[in-house]
Amino acid sequence: MPRIRNRARSRNRRRLRAVLFATLGSRCGIRSDACAGELTADKFEVHHEDGCTWDQRSVNAETRLYRYLRELRQGVRLAAACRPCNGALNQATYGTREEREAA
């Protein structure tokens, strides 16, 4: 029983990611000139162009996807990003995890 529910939720997450990906596009929005990162619906991150106002790790993956889609409807500027660019930018903006945890 739980296995089927888990599978349905996994399918739903994939569906939500596909919708998000179709909206944001397949190019890394952070440094599209210098970045060779090819994005796919299975492999992209969401970049908040004006900074993210909530803790993305505080909610589960499904809730996070619904929230991104709601932000898009509300006009929050989001871009698809590759992991290296997004990670580098977040680290430059917020510091490394060690630095954040020490703060």
Distances (CA, A) of 98 to 57, 84, 102: 16, 18, 6
User: In 3-state terms, what secondary structure has residue 41?
Assistant: coil
Residue corresponding to tokens 């990906």:
21
Nearest CB to Zn ion, comparing residues 65 and 85 = 85
Indicate which single residue of 19, 35, 41, 89 sits in contact with Zn ion (rule: CB under 5 A).
35
Q: Shortest distance, CB of residue 70 to Zn ion, whole angstroms?
A: 25
Q: Quick check: 39 and 82 in contact, CB under 8 A?
A: yes
Q: What is the contact mask toward Zn ion in residues 40 to 79, using x (rule: CB under 5 A)?
A: ----------------------------------------
| Binding-residue total with Zn ion (CB under 5 A) | 5
Residue corresponding to tokens 């990670």:
87
Nearest CB to Zn ion, comparing residues 35 and 76 = 35
- The answer to whether 24 contacts Zn ion (rule: CB under 5 A) is no
Q: Which of 68, 86, 87 is nearest to 77 (CA)?
A: 68
Indicate which single residue of 17, 21, 24, 28 sits in contact with Zn ion (rule: CB under 5 A).
28
User: In 3-state terms, what secondary structure has residue 80?
Assistant: strand
Residues forming the site for Zn ion (CB under 5 A): 28, 35, 37, 82, 85
